[in-house]
Structure 1
Amino acid sequence: MTIELPAPLQTVLPFFHPLIMWVLFATSVYALFLGIKVKRTRQATGDAKKELIKGKYNIKHYQVGSVLLAFMVFGTIGGMAVTYITNGKLFVGPHLLVGLGMTGLIAASAALAPLMQQGKDWARFGHIGLNMSLLLLFGWQAVTGMQIVQKILSNM
């Protein structure tokens, strides 16, 4: 099944997913920065802790993580939808499978937030491990995604 789209939309639609994912990759690095600030705030004492608390890094980290979760899910579904709309099928390969796995990783990581708020160290370590894995996979996805973009451009 192929859905017929207007020509201008056919031209730009395949590039929404890569653009969103690059923004999310950069946002993930920012979330990492905020997470490091949260850890420093938690470990600081005295005036240094008071100064770090003013940055509200814990709130920012939580908010950025929530946005990442939402856009990762929508970006994954959107990328699959655009591929299906423009090609009439999905290309089941490493990029798709790793992307789906990453969506599961970020969901599992977010699910640990309430346990971290209760002070469970194992949840914090799990959260960090999942997110570091996610960031490494994101870097790999960026490379394979650009290869796919090059294929799309060469077929235009």
Structure 2
Amino acid sequence: MNLTIPESVKVWSQFLHPTIMWVILALSIYALYLGIQVQRTRYADGDIKKELIKGRYNVKHYQIGSVLLGLMVVGAIGGMAVTYINNGKLFVGPHLLAGLGMTALIAMSASLSPFMQKGQNWARFTHIALNVVLLGLFGWQAVTGVEIVQRIVSKM
């Protein structure tokens, strides 16, 4: 079976991965904000705690985290698929390897949720540490990704 993909689809599909990744970066910053609010709620007292609880930050943080996990996995696989379709190979380099590492980090971070829900502080601290590393890598990936997009655009 020989599946021929129209050239216009091949060209414009290259911009889907970067777009998804920028959305994920923005959502990650929002998830960080929600996580900070969850921590504030956990350590607050009295009326401040009651007010923070109304924000349902824990539920929002969990939901955004779930969306991030799904988008990250789909985005990583999609980026590799589009690269392979357009070039017949993957370019094994820092951007690909860091992206795969980030996908593993977000999966490990999400897998700690059941332990955090049971009040395990080690899981909470590990979750925070993994996500700080993930956000740092994400910032670096954004820079290297823009460089890759610029190379693609220059060849158009």
Q: Shorter-chain TM-score: which interval?
A: over 0.9
Post-superposition Cα deviations, 1:91-144, rounded to whole Å, max 9, x if no partner, equal 000000000000000000000111011111110000000000000000000000
1:106-145 counterparts in 2 under 5 A?
106-145=106-145
1:97 matched residue in structure 2:
97
> Is the CA contact 2:76–2:103 (under 8 Å) kept in the aligned structure 1?
yes
- The TM-score, its normalising length taken from structure 2, stands at 0.97
- The one-letter amino acid paired with 1:131 is N
Q: Does the residue aligned with 2:5 lie in a helix, a strand or coil? A: coil
| Aligned-partner Cα distance in 1 for 2:154–2:3 | 22
- The one-letter amino acid paired with 1:146 is V
Identical amino acids, percent of aligned pairs: 67
> Is the CA contact 2:10–2:82 (under 8 Å) kept in the aligned structure 1?
no
Check 1:3–1:14 CA distance in 2 against 1; reply closer, same or farther (3 A cut).
farther
Give how far 1:8 is off: 2.2
| Aligned-partner Cα distance in 1 for 2:22–2:62 | 20
> Is the CA contact 1:3–1:85 (under 8 Å) kept in the aligned structure 2?
no
| Aligned-partner Cα distance in 1 for 2:10–2:127 | 39
How many correspondences in the alignment?
155
Structure 2: unaligned runs, 5 residues or longer: none
Structure 1: unaligned runs, 5 residues or longer: none
| Aligned-partner Cα distance in 1 for 2:76–2:49 | 39
Structure 1 runs, 4 residues or longer, greater than 6 Å off: none
| Aligned-partner Cα distance in 1 for 2:44–2:76 | 38
Post-superposition Cα deviations, 1:17-68, rounded to whole Å, max 9, x if no partner, equal 0000000000000000000000000011101000000000000000000000
1:86 to 2:86 alignment: yes
| Aligned-partner Cα distance in 1 for 2:10–2:101 | 28
| Aligned-partner Cα distance in 1 for 2:5–2:13 | 10
Give how far 1:3 is off: 6.3
> Is the CA contact 1:80–1:90 (under 8 Å) kept in the aligned structure 2?
yes
1:18 matched residue in structure 2:
18
Give how far 1:151 is off: 0.6
| Aligned-partner Cα distance in 2 for 1:38–1:137 | 23
